[in-house]
Amino acid sequence: MSSTTLQCRTVVDFPRHRAPVPGRRSWAVLPPPGPDPSPGPGEPIPPAPPPDPKPPVPDPDPIPPMPLPDPYPPPVPGPDIPVPPMPLPEPL
């Protein structure tokens, strides 16, 4: 009886890299040229500047508040049906 060895090979199809086209924007975000402005290890991070205080701008045409609907609809008139009282359970 002969033994057969099976081999498995994984084929990965990588996309080919195209040469850059002149005039086409790249999606890569590159740092600005020059020295790195970020602080190095051990250096304190400078505090952010305070935001400019801006006075609130009044709304020239305010929208009036919308009236709220009644939470319960008005009762519907109908015939008065007498309801007998419910008997109390007997004490044990």
pLDDT tens figures, 4-34: 666 666 666 666 666 666 666 666 666 677 7
pTM of the model as a whole:
0.17
Buried b (16+ CB within 10 A) or exposed e, 48-78: eeeeeeeeeeeeeeeeeeeeeeeeeeeeeee
pLDDT (tens digit per residue) in 41-84: 777 777 888 888 888 888 777 788 888 777 777 777 777 778 88
Both tokens assigned to 13: 């199809």
Q: Which of 40, 39, 20, 36 is nearest to 28 (CA)?
A: 20
